[in-house]
Amino acid sequence: MKTITNEDNNNGNNRWVGLDAAEAKLMELFRGMVEHNGVSKLQIEVKPLKKGRKNVVLSSGKDYHFVLKPAGSPANRDKPVQKTARTPAEDGNPGD
């Protein structure tokens, strides 16, 4: 599993720290699907976590995990937002 640390700057327009990175990846995946000359599939899962956080998983060949944190919460000041990318084989699931 490869972990990518992404320092996300909250420009004040979002209620969620990490939303900009998740939106950028979603748009990147969508554009890639539109340009692809075949069948593509994109799955989005959003699950609530403790302390008001949200776990967002974008799945399209690889899984991209984002943890969105409410803006202004004390936990956001310490650590950068993390996202991970995993292939289905790394999860133990064979790809389609």
Query: Is residue 94 pLDDT above 50, yes or no?
Result: yes
pLDDT of residue 3: 36
Task: Tell me how crowded residue 69 is: count the other CB atoms within 10 A of its CB.
Answer: 22
Higher-pLDDT residue of 7 and 43 is 43
Distance CA 58, CA 42 (A): 7
Q: Spell out the domain ranges in the chain.
A: 2-86
Higher-pLDDT residue of 83 and 20 is 20
Distance CA 78, CA 37 (A): 43
Question: From residue 38, how far is each of 32, 34, 85 by CA, in Å?
Answer: 11, 9, 23
Per-residue pLDDT of 5-33, as tens digits, reads: 344 444 445 688 999 999 999 999 999 99
Query: Is residue 82 pLDDT above 50, yes or no?
Result: yes
Which amino acid makes up residue 62? K
Distance CA 72, CA 44 (A): 25
pLDDT of residue 40: 92
